[in-house]
Every structure is written in structure tokens, then in C-alpha cells.
Amino acid sequence: MQSLRYNNPFKSEIADPREEEENESRHLAYLEGLAFAWNSCGQKSRFFTESMEKHNIKGLSLEKISKNLLSPYFRGIFDGAGILEEGPDLSIAFPRNFDAVLNKSSFNITPEAEKILIKNEDAVNFCLFIYENLDFASQNFCREKLTALCQKSRDFYKAFLKAAESYIDGRYYSTLPESIAKNPEAVLTYINGLESCKKNYLELVKMGVEQEDARYILPMGTQTRLVMTMNVRSLYNFFHLRCCRRAQSEIRHLANLMLAEVKKIAPGLFEKAGAPCEATGFCPEGKFSCGRYPAQRPEARGQR
């Protein structure tokens, strides 16, 4: 087993400040877009005010923003002035005076009375662009709008989950549980927890605390690498327990993958391996049954 006693999954980040510099540039671009939207709408907000004053944010126009920072810039404009329209399809509205900046972009827009619309597939593409390479742990997005988009568009939510899983794997050396992935609010809350654990772990290591003690603060979702051997009897017992739907999703997924592999090698030997209900037609879990098969009869339980 790969031990976190000797292996620090975040070692490179302690010595490499480049990620922080890139995140800072994207953060400033987001604030510029947000300030531009507020200035164009004649609105102000208490959010980010201190940060804007600190960095002398003016609300720069599109022409003054670097091309590699357009994604967070437009995300700031969306958070500052964009509105999700009601209805079954995804449609994003902006005030009519935003036609100049949106016309200079590559997005298809539809003028309508006092507003401008980005609709349907164009709206999905717009959202995919503005949330591209999103730093989920930052505050460079409106949480309410992001979760509303996930609920509004299935295609966007799929892309959101794929990005979140990659982010969690790469940044936190961790995994995204199945039940959390069903709820965008839960995903963002989970990431906040992972970020807190990681920051405190790195602080402890910087203080000279041994990794074997600092690792206590890392979450249970932290990944590990291991190699193991199991004989047929142990495999049967493992499949019996972990192929069951009541097993935790990650270990159940692993068990089903392993079962598929051993069946390729010895199909006859593992013909009846797996969840016990598959072989007997009854669930031995009683009141904890998932309901796929009827609960095992008491008399049958006594005969075994």
C-alpha cells in the first residue's frame, strides 16, 4: 500500500508558486468583468468591494483583457448582469446595453425588446466557456447561479461533474462519492471541505510536523494505491459482501470490476459469485434490503 506516512501527495505545491499566480490573474479578470457589469448597469454590491479596492479594479472593457483571461472575465459579466430566463430551455438574458461587448465575442445573441438573449445550445456553449478551467475552491463565481445552471441544463451538469471530478482528483488526491455527485450544492460543499483539509495539512507540514501525523487531517476520501492477493475463497467472500447494493458505491464499483475480470479467467468457478441475492433469489439483509429481491424467509435462514 502507498503510505501517506512517506508520500506527500501535495509535495510539488509547497515549492511551486505558479498555480497561485495563475489563480490570482484569473481572480482579477473575474473582478474586472464583475465591475464592468456593475458599472454598465449602474449597480453596486458589497461583495468583493474590499478586494476591488485593494487591487484597484476599474471594470476594464473587453479590449483590455488578455485573451487567455476571457473565460473568468465573461463569468464576472454573467454574475454581475446575467439572468437565467424562466422556461424549460436554457436561456440567458443581459440588459440591452450589453450588445456592444457581447457582439465583440463569438457568442450568438438575439436582441429582444429591452434585453439580449443567448439561447438553447448557444447558452450551453456560453456557460461551458465561462466556467472553463474553473477553480472550484475560489470565490470567483456566484454559487447560486452555478447551481441553478446545473439544475437547468443536463448537458451543462454533465460537464460540471466531469470538471469537478477531475479537479478533486488532481487538486485533492481524492474522489467524488456517488451520492454527493447527484447534487451540485453538495459537490461545492464537499470541495470546500477538501480545500480546508488540504490547506491545514500543508500548513502543518510547513511547520515541520511529520507527514505521518499531519495526514490525520486529510479526509477519508483521500486516494491510495495498493496491490493485494486473494484466493478463491476470499474472493467469494469479498464479492458476497461488496457486490451488494448496500455496499458503499466506490467499493461496490471495484468489486464488480474485479468480478468481471475473474469471470473471464474462470467463468465456471465464479459462476455464482457476487451478491448473495443473485444466486439465491432472496436478500439476506432483512429490513435493510434494497428491495430488488424479497427478504429471505426466516425458516430458510434457520436451515442454512
Catalytic residues: 242
- Taking the C-alpha atoms of residue 171 and residue 293, their distance in angstroms, rounded to an integer, is 41
C-alpha cell of residue 140:
470567483
Comparing CA positions, the residue from 93, 114, 116 lying closest to residue 103 is 116
User: What are the start-end ranges of the E strands in 90-237?
Assistant: 91-95, 110-112, 115-119
Please list, in sequence order, all residues whose beta carbon lies within 8 angstroms of the beta carbon of residue 228, skipping any fewer than 6 positions away.
none
Burial 69-86 (b: 16+ CB within 10 A, else e): bbbbbbbbbbbbbbebee
Residue owning grid cell 469537478? 164
Query: CA 45, CA 201: separation in Å to the nearest integer?
Result: 34
* Angle, vertex CA 193, rays to CA 189 and CA 199, nearest 5: 140
Three-class secondary structure of residue 94 per DSSP: strand
**Nearest Cα residue to 123 out of 147, 87, 143, 153:** 153
Q: Which residues pair with 232 in a beta bridge?
A: none
CA-based nearest residue to 30, from 106, 126, 146, 131: 131
Q: What's the one-letter identity of residue 157?
A: Y
CA dist., res. 198 & res. 222, Å (int): 10
